[in-house]
């Protein structure tokens, strides 16, 4: 594969095969562990559930800091990680929609909590959001596994 | 044989592998890249420097447990160049599909 101007189709095919193999290796490295999604889900759920407290604001910093420290540590440990933001427009719009819905649920739960003194609403929202985050992380994990050709079994 | 529009920086087998490996990733650590490619530190350094000189790879240094680690990522122009290179390889290889079988 040295003569770049006169590359034969066989050499090009061989190069493409090595590209596919290395891309698969990259996807394998990027597959997040199941516990990664679970811990992120618990931390985000706790952020929402904290609003069950009378005065949650002194404690909000803990799950936020926890998320930042945990994600950084997990990435440093893995030695490689996938893209933060999806490249396709459809996925970007899906994320924007999810963030809007989350904000609506978040501020809605705070309103209900204050208007009706219903602490369980914040706990229920925390649980719901935690489940949503975990399901999203599992979906992403399966998508990564599909790209590595390993499917669900791993 | 076909006169091609291949990228001469990416074309070398190890640099092609580096770009392919980094494509699905945001960042990969130097040691991870070295293990995946199965090359020595010096060989990997040489290829990464060539990719960096072309503006295709960027580096970030970080410390984990007091140890210095280097992270590599494909730049936007690196992704574009790699994508164009793969397109060209695909075009050249497609000749194989159109050849009559005897």
Quote the number of domains for chain A: 1
Percentage above 70 pLDDT, chain B: 91
Domain range for A119 is 34-143
ipTM above 0.90, yes or no: no
Q: β-strand A80-82 against B67-74: which pairing, if any? A: unpaired
pTM of the model: 0.78
Amino acid A55: pLDDT: 81
Whether A150 maps to a domain, the answer reads no
Task: Locate the chain B residue with the closest alpha carbon to A24.
Answer: B21
pLDDT average, residue stretch A107-136: 85
pLDDT in tens, A36-61: 999 999 999 998 888 888 788 888 89
Spell out which residues of chain A touch residue B76, defining contact as CB-CB under 8 Å.
none
Amino acid B1: pLDDT: 46
pLDDT band at A154 (very low <50, low <70, confident <90, very high): very low
Whether A124 maps to a domain, the answer reads yes
What is the distance between the alpha carbons of residues A150 and B76, in angstroms, rounded to a whole number?
29
pLDDT greater than 70 at residue A30: yes
pLDDT average, residue stretch B73-78: 95
pLDDT band at A98 (very low <50, low <70, confident <90, very high): confident
What is the distance between the alpha carbons of residues B68 and B90, in angstroms, rounded to a whole number?
39
Sign for the CA dihedral angle at A122, A124, A127, A128 comes to negative
Domains of chain B: 9-96 (1.10.10.10)
Amino acid A153: pLDDT: 42
Amino acid A106: pLDDT: 81
- The more confidently predicted of residues B92 and A76 is B92
- Cβ of B96 within 8 Å of Cβ of A13? The answer is yes
Whether A108 maps to a domain, the answer reads yes
Residue recorded with tokens 């914040």: A122
Spell out which residues of chain A touch residue B73, defining contact as CB-CB under 8 Å.
none
Q: How many C-beta neighbours within 10 Å does residue B32 have?
A: 21
pLDDT greater than 90 at residue B84: yes
Helix axes B30-37, A9-30, angle to 10 degrees: 140
Task: Locate the chain A residue with the closest alpha carbon to B23.
Answer: A23
Whether A13 maps to a domain, the answer reads no
- Cβ of A9 within 8 Å of Cβ of B95? The answer is yes
């Amino acid at each position: 594969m040295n003569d770049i101007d006169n590359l034969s189709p066989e050499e090009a095919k061989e190069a493409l095969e090595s590209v596919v193999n290395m891309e698969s290796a990259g996807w394998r490295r990027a597959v997040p562990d199941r516990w990664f999604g679970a811990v992120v889900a618990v931390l985000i759920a706790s952020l929402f559930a904290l609003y069950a407290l009378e005065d949650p604001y002194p404690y909000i910093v803990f799950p936020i800091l926890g998320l930042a420290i945990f994600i950084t540590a997990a990435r440093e440990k893995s030695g490689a990680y996938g893209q933060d933001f999806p490249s396709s427009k459809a996925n970007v719009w899906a994320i924007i929609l999810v963030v809007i819905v989350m904000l609506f649920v978040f501020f809605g739960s705070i309103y209900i909590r204050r208007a009706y003194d219903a602490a369980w609403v914040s706990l229920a929202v925390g649980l719901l959001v935690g489940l949503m985050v975990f399901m999203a992380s599992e979906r992403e994990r399966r998508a990564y596994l599909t790209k590595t050709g390993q499917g669900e079994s791993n | 044989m076909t006169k091609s529009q291949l990228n001469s920086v990416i074309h070398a087998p190890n640099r092609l592998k580096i770009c392919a490996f980094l494509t699905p990733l945001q960042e990969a650590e130097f040691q991870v890249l070295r293990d995946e490619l199965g090359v020595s530190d010096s060989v990997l350094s040489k290829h990464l420097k060539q990719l960096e000189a072309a503006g295709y790879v960027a580096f970030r240094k970080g410390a984990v447990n007091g140890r210095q680690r280097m992270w590599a990522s494909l730049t936007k122009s690196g992704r574009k160049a790699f994508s164009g290179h793969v397109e060209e390889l695909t075009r050249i290889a497609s000749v194989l599909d159109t050849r009559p079988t005897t």
